[in-house]
Structure 1
């Protein structure tokens, strides 16, 4: 077990040598519901799981495909196994970024059948950046330098019990998986 983490479901997972068979949505939903956005430097707890749910709902509101909606839900799933590193610091960690990208591609392969295309990645990054603008404004009380982006879903920065976020994440995953697997 030396280089492994023990997941919520009791699996021994090595994030540097990920085994697709050990990746499970229960671990992802649970861990992301407990991880705080902004490395915890926010006015109120807002989980990465809540952020991912919001991204998926925004992708749906923009009329994107079921595949891209599911990708939006999963886009931070690697953080379940590798934790989160704030963007400014992550920029100086090329090995971490490479490892994170490889793990995320394995997650996409498992749940979407393939990695994302360049267009899908761009659309997903746009949603992520748009919602980051609101995080900065309302979770950190900072005024971003960019114009306020238009989002199509209501954003409520409320703390919900992690079990409620975990359940909503899993239910949304199940709904979306059923749609794209048909």
Structure 2
């Protein structure tokens, strides 16, 4: 039996983590740049270097948590598949945050070594995947598809989470 309530809860939690990773990295990068007068690229490197491993640990912790819970094997399998399928969009959230901040700061994010390392790592992964699936490496197309997919997942997660928060705030208490 599939525990849809638990799956919905975990997807809401994913949306919250995605939104927090994006918003906190964006805010911290801009605060470091504007208020602390830290070079934006240096701030982006520090934030990505800290945030990406933390998100990776959160994903590993989530998988361990799922495996240790009393749930049906089908529910566990679905949750682990979601964790693996949504890992790259989750890791994209802080990267998108520093990209948005770079746009505000009017600097080129390509000078960030952490951003470059992320792109290279994901590019290598996409190279292998596209070569296996399509028989030829389509890294550029796969990169753009990953960006679009990750951005869409993040936008939907943020929109749903925000909508539910607005609904909770606007609910009238029953007398």
Normalising by structure 2, report the TM-score. 0.33
Q: Which has the higher contact order (CA 8 A, sep 6+)?
A: 2
Higher helix share: 2
Normalising by structure 1, report the TM-score. 0.32
